[in-house]
Amino acid sequence: MTKQVFFSSILMLTILNIKAQQKFEIGIEGGVSQYFYSIVETQNNLKNTPNISGFGGVNFRLNSNKKFFGEVGFILTEYTEGIKLRQELGYITSNHDGVLIIPFRFGRPFLIAKCLSFVPSVGMALAIKTSSQDGSSSSYRESVGNTSLMYDYTFRRNGKDLFFLMNGNAMFEWEFKNKMKVLAGVNYYQGFTKVSVADISYKINNEPMQAGLLIGKGTFIGYSIGLKYSIK
């Protein structure tokens, strides 16, 4: 908790010290997210699943006289994970880590039509695990025709409770009544360090047991909508 308060305060104070601001905006955002993992194994029998979840939170923006802005957000999400054998008919995913993400980004709006702007932004984000399933295990057994399938995987206890992500966003903003904005677009968060690692063992029919790894770096893409309100 001390780490969360400290880093959140530092980021908030930094953005509030941007000078020559014209407007201060507060916003909400939320949407659907997909999380990405890599699989390491030699037999090429394992596949990633569509790891779908959601996210939501608040953000604060200061606009400068030169049209650039700085923005900080506080976003909650829950990472999901899963694997499947290529012979499986379906797949199963499960919730893994709850994470608080604090993006700190800069951007600039480009007017493309009356009241409609394209708004790219880039920055970095601090990610803090609020809950963790490290050490948890999952098992699967299935028969598909004459094929018998089984696998188990266990997440290691790696202690990575705080990590950083690179953040890029491409949003469209529609402004009305000079106070409100409606937003829609894409948010991308790229991780660089291993924050979750699972040891996998699987077997197909009477073949020898095989091993692999499921590795997550916190990378995900979000499809979001939101609102902003100008209070200055």
DSSP per-residue codes, the chain: -HHHHHHHHHHHHHHHT-SSEEEEEEEEEEEEEEEEEEEE-SS--EEE--EEEEEEEEEEEEEETTS-EEEEEEEEEEEEE-EEETT-SS---EEEEEEEEEEEEEE--EEEETTEEEEEEEEEEEEEEEE--TT-EEEEEEEETTEEEEEEEEE------EEEEEEEEEEEEEEETTTEEEEEEEEEEEE-S--EEEEEEEEETTSPPEEEEEEEEEEEEEEEEEEEEE--
| Nearest CA-CA partner of 80 in 54, 56, 61, 47 | 54
Q: What is the per-residue pLDDT across 110-154, written as a single tens digit (0 to 9) for each?
A: 999 888 999 999 999 999 988 877 767 777 777 777 778 777 878
Q: What is the per-residue pLDDT across 55-87, written as a single tens digit (0 to 9) for each?
A: 999 999 988 766 889 999 999 999 888 777 777
Please tell me which residue, 144 or 219, carries the higher pLDDT value: 219
Residue 226 confidence (pLDDT): 95
Residue 72 confidence (pLDDT): 92
pTM: 0.84
What is the rounded distance in angstroms from the CA atom of residue 206 to the CA atom of residue 37? 28
Q: What is the per-residue pLDDT across 26-63, written as a single tens digit (0 to 9) for each?
A: 999 999 999 999 988 888 888 888 889 999 999 999 88
The residue type of 35 is Y
Q: What is the per-residue pLDDT across 154-176, written as a single tens digit (0 to 9) for each?
A: 887 776 788 999 999 999 999 88
What is the rounded distance in angstroms from the CA atom of residue 3 to the CA atom of residue 7? 6
Go through the domains of the chain in sequence order and give each one's CATH number: 2-36+52-84+93-136+159-195+218-230 (2.40.160.20)
